[in-house]
Amino acid sequence: MSVVNDFYQARATNTSWARRQRSAWLQKLRASTKVSSHEHHDRLAADRDVLADAVIVTNDAIQRATNQIAQIEEHVVLGGDVRNRLLTCLRASLSADSVFPTVTSDGDDGLIAQWRAGERFLAVEMTSDGDYSLMLVDSDGVLRRNESASGYPDLDNLKALVRDFTAAVVARNPRWRDLFE
């Protein structure tokens, strides 16, 4: 459970969770790769164009996330293309029956989508510098995944994680949607 506490402590200290969890290999990769911010922006734009062709699912989970982001934007200036990158991840990973994520600010200029049920925890953070972080804690409180990199997480993998999370919630409470009415 300390991993989840570290996540919340990072948010409380106004430090991006992605920045605290960034792995050494990513830092070495950046040090050895000289890419201007203009080139970085062009690469992100190319990624966004490719992902824009993905099937867009309109469902309650996406609508709720979009509304939460709009509320955040009333109080926080989001950096870069954080909003669109997070929505791209959510559109690619959520289905009509997916458990709703909660979207929050990361305390800087990024966004976090998180799912929580008991000890089970899944979070995806998008930062303004083009990085993401993904964390999964299972129902026993054991950290199963913790990764950070540039760009997007593997969207098929994220979809599978959300599907598994939803299945676990439905198994415990088939009427979970009643909690949101």
125: enclosing H helix or E strand: strand 120-126
N residues, the chain:
181
Q: Please, are residues 132 and 149 in contact by the beta-carbon 8 Å criterion? A: yes
Question: For each of the chain's 181 residues, which pLDDT tens digit applies?
Answer: 555 555 555 555 544 544 444 444 344 444 444 444 455 455 555 554 444 433 444 478 889 999 999 999 999 899 889 999 999 999 999 998 899 999 999 988 899 999 999 899 999 999 999 999 999 999 999 999 999 999 999 999 999 999 999 999 999 999 988 887 7
DSSP string, 3-43: HHHHHHHHHHTT--HHHHH--HHHHHHHHH----HHHHHHH
Residue 53's domain spans which residues? 2-180
Q: How many domains does the chain have?
A: 1
Give the DSSP letter of residue 171: H
Give the pTM.
0.68
